[in-house]
């Protein structure tokens, strides 16, 4: 707990733009080294000092003591369009509660984070061909099958230990990646069309797998045509994961009725027709000049007048399994669980049923 309090003190100090010397004077310490020792967990904050921190820094006691808060630890990268900084920060605090809850509860119920992390040997200087080759290998190594989009989330959770949460995000937020010292999370806005969700998922997977060599920006534009090289590499990787050459070969040549065939094939692969078009160009299966003749308007919503949105269930089955086990073992109250998940006790029970899980015994 002392290390957690120290981390949160540092996060709050930096948020308030205070130096360690200023905080030392605030607490009546002789020098900044005492503040440094608290922030690194080498020295405990006494009860009286904790009360002083609440008073002087304008934070709640819960900020320092509640385990289901992510402050000063998680690093986020948000994929969004026209979302204000305040809105992002507000939603980040909400999402941080779910991530922090899993971090605390999973080891307690026998589901610890994986020992080893997967990574890609790519840097910002890597070629787009390298990123596409990495995507091809990922699809093959993890046997994503004929429709990779359908299996990707399950592989990420079950085989890579990446928490994948389908969420009702603030409007304009497509998704996010979050890096913690011990595990990773991807958030996806479940209210977007399936093809968009799948591309965002593969895109955020790239950031998770390359975080150490090219950490993503905290905020990125949710566009497949970004000018940022890291985002371009992420898009190249995502396209290859969802549309590997072996899968594209099943659709034969693209020498006639290209627009209609793109829409039909994209529906089968659960990707956008526009992404499929440029993936075919990148793999040499479609001439770039021919691709430019096909208007994006004709490919919008894969040729449909109305976008098809069938939202997946909230959160994910592995995440909910941990929550249910924690309730059954008395580590989390039913009411606190419902509060954590922003739902009612009745809807929590319904969500368990929808995932094929036994509802908590307390229900």
Q: Check: CB of residue 264 under 8 Å from CB of residue 299.
A: no
Overall average pLDDT of the 48-74 stretch: 88
Cα(209)–Cα(155) distance, integer angstroms: 14
Q: Check: CB of residue 355 under 8 Å from CB of residue 313.
A: yes
Average pLDDT, the chain: 92
Q: Using 50, 70 and 90 to split pLDDT, how confident is the model at 363?
A: low
Reported as a single tens digit per residue, the pLDDT across 149-165 is 999 999 999 999 999 99
Cα(185)–Cα(102) distance, integer angstroms: 10
Residue ranges and CATH numbers for the domains of the chain are: 2-65 (1.10.260.40), 73-312 (no CATH), 317-354 (no CATH)
Overall average pLDDT of the 56-79 stretch: 89
Cα(80)–Cα(174) distance, integer angstroms: 5
Give the pLDDT of residue 1.
57
Give the pLDDT of residue 225.
64
Residue of 114 and 5 predicted with greater confidence: 5
What are the beta bridge partners of residue 187? 165, 176
Reported as a single tens digit per residue, the pLDDT across 81-113 is 999 999 999 999 999 999 999 999 999 999 887
């Amino acid at each position: 707990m002392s290390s957690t309090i120290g981390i949160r003190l540092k996060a709050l100090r930096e948020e308030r733009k205070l130096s360690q010397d200023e905080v030392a004077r605030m607490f009546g310490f002789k020098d900044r080294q005492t503040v440094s020792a608290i922030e690194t967990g080498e020295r405990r904050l006494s009860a009286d000092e904790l009360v002083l921190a609440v008073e002087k820094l304008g934070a709640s006691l819960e900020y320092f003591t509640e385990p289901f808060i992510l402050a000063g630890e998680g690093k986020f990268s948000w994929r969004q369009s026209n979302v204000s900084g305040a809105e992002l920060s507000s939603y980040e605090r909400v999402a941080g509660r779910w991530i922090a809850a899993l971090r605390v509860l999973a080891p307690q119920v026998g589901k610890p984070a994986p020992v080893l992390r997967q990574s890609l040997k790519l840097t910002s200087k890597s070629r787009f061909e390298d990123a596409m080759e990495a995507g091809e290998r990922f699809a093959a190594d993890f046997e994503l099958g004929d429709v990779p989009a359908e299996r990707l989330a399950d592989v990420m959770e079950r085989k890579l230990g990446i928490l994948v949460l389908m969420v009702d995000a603030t409007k304009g937020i497509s998704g996010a990646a979050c890096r913690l010292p011990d595990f990773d999370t991807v958030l996806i806005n479940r209210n977007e069309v399936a093809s968009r969700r799948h591309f965002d998922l593969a895109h955020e997977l790239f950031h998770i797998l390359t975080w150490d060599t090219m950490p993503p920006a905290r905020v990125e534009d949710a566009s497949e045509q970004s000018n940022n090289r890291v985002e371009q590499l992420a898009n190249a990787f995502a396209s290859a994961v969802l549309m590997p050459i072996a899968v594209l070969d099943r659709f034969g040549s693209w020498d006639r009725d290209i627009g209609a065939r793109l829409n039909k094939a994209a529906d089968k692969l659960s990707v956008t027709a526009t992404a499929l078009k440029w993936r075919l160009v990148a793999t040499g299966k479609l001439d770039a000049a021919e691709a430019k003749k096909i208007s994006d308007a004709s490919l919008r919503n894969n040729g449909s007048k109305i976008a098809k949105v069938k939202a997946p269930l909230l959160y994910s089955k592995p995440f909910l399994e941990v929550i249910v086990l924690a309730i059954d073992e008395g580590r989390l109250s039913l009411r606190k669980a419902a509060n954590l998940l922003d739902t009612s006790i009745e809807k929590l029970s319904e969500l368990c049923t929808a995932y094929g899980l036994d509802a908590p015994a307390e229900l």
